[in-house]
Structure 1
Amino acid sequence: MHFKLNIRRYSPISHFHKIVNIMRLSLVLCMLTIFCASATVSYSQVNEISLHLEDATLEQALEAIKQQSEYSFWYRNDEINLGRKVSVNINNQNIANVLDRLLATQGLAYTINEKHIVIYKTNEKASHPMITNNKKITGKVTDEKNEPIIGANVVVKGSTTGTITDMDGNFTLEVPDQATLLVSYIGYTPKEVAVKNQNNLSIMMIEDSKTIDEVVVIGYGSVKKSNLTGAVSSVKTTEIQQTPMTSIDQGLVGRASGVQVTQTSGMPGAVASIRVRGSSSLQGGNEPLYVIDGFPVYSGTGFGSTGGNTQISGLSTVNPSDIESIEILKDASATAIYGARAANGVVLITTKSGKKGRDIITFESSFGVQNVAKTIDVMNA
């Protein structure tokens, strides 16, 4: 048997040389880092600038700085008045001191980014904030019957500082001098109250008669909105009339909660698919019952000119400008009078009727252009 042993001889001298080489490399890297840092710091110190200008323009002053340094200036002509007269007398100052002396009286500020200087207009309001003295005030919000209003919003006008009233209608708030409070609550007319020198306020709110006395049409008549117990959504006709459309159902898109409107076809007169509180059947119809001035309107399936079945709506025959109000009945209590046909909800439409007074003539027109999404390439003759 033969064994071969590789025995390396240890040399302390070679090991010492390796350590020395590592130390040399580390020293070189440290020196390079120091030189780079000192070059960056001393750049603005070495480039000392002297300016001696009397009644010169701002443009001439900036040009003189550019000639004595390697800086370039960036600014907007509509913000900086380069023709404004300046007078400076500066000896051997760095760029920061020169710009501070030159731009401080002009309402201008600057930012230095390497060799680029951006000059911009300062916000004088931000640099001189208004000092105000806040004081703590208390108050109580009540209705016309002197009953406390719980949860009324009390906000300082023109700010985001505010609070709400507690169970007794009381509130506490810190406000600046001569502040104005905005008080609001659902069903009441918003009110502005000037604090002046008062520390304890008594605020009485008045019911909003327009909101409380608003009349809502339901299946068996009309009631005030304040007395309504069923789930009914009302759509403002002023919003619908501002939207160009060929059918009323197109104007209901996104205007009533719990009502989804989807356009199913591009055929003229085709009805949009309306779902009130979702679909209730997998095989049966899910369309709501349309009632115009007390008469149910047919909404079913017809044949288009290009073949195939298409949903046709009787609503397309009603002029949107003739509509007085639109109510959507959603729950069982509101739709009970119409029976099983109203299982998917009811859309009640009331048209305008003659009114006493002078004659009024209105004219509205709109047009639209539609293109075929994809045409079929045909052979020529």
Structure 2
Amino acid sequence: MSKRDYYEILGVARNASDDELKKAYRRCAMKHHPDRNPGDAAAEAAFKECKEAYEVLSDANKRRAYDQHGHAAFEHGMGGGGGAGAGYADMGDIFGDIFGNIFGGGAGPRGPRRGADIGYVMELSLEEAVCGVERQIEIPTLDACDTCSGSGSIDGKIETCATCGGRGQVRFQRGIFSMQQACPHCGGRGQTIANPCGDCHGQGRVERNKTLQVKIPAGVDTGDRIRLAGEGEAGPTGVPPGDLYVEVRVREHEIFQRDGDDLHCEVPIRISQAALGDIVRVPTLNGDAEIRLPAETQSGKLFRLRGKGVKSVRSRSEGDLYCRVVVETPVNLTTEQRELMEKFEATFSGESARRHSPRSATFLDGVKGFWDRMTS
């Protein structure tokens, strides 16, 4: 019976990222896990199929070989029918073994692995990001099994693998090449368990939701990450856990826009305030502040309040607050206000208009010149 395509098994595209592969594998593994489907032979077969697919596609060298040659990359002269994980040896292993044998060295067992890292996105308000906050989060993860204390053995007895002698790897000869691969008997761990734990099936870890307290420092911004060492997935037996990375996302604010450590906001003012000048109170993250409007302030003028921005999470320096004033056209005028506005407008005529509204006069001159050129 022909084997199914590994990408099809995991339900991902051929250009899927490592993160997409990991998420797809988790979904597939949790759906078909034997603990959730006791006595279901089809589910057990699907679980093994999904595990085999991920073991190949999560390894860059194996994935490259699979993309080029399909399942044939792990058969026909590539180590026999021991499955994808057992049959493949990458070129780094091949040349390492050749030169190791020639010069009396030899590649030793692979260095200690770690459990998988976990990513978590935390959404914050601007105030929380600026001031810092402590949050409790819950994450689904693989955690050390309590029953066997993460050993995978119900009685604590772990033996050296008889096949690889504890090295975690086995060698075989292919012509002039000496090849090296993970031991198929112990899965590369170098140890075997005589009496596996019933709760974790000898894996030393189980699926569970873990609750953590995360302290977010003041001044963080979107894209910043906080690393919690050792709070990722538990590794296989005897292997340290991965890390948890909490990535910050700051929601949009109804008043302020953030640009690094600086803040920006718009401040509406009345036409009379702009013309006569005034003192206007504006909001900051630490209470109100004042800006002094000079007479004849134009709409769009920018005022800078030093040190009223965000305190940097890295340098601890403080950003500034930039207030852009916007002259607001009055609405819902009373009869008296309308009459006053009409009298005021009547004062703008001839040279008076040019003197009191220079930008408007310049604009009208430009328009007149444009039409004269168009009609000449």
Q: Structure 1 length normalisation: TM-score? A: 0.21
Higher strand share: 1
Larger Rg, first or second structure (1 or 2):
1
Higher relative contact order (Cα pairs below 8 Å, separated by 6+ residues) = 2
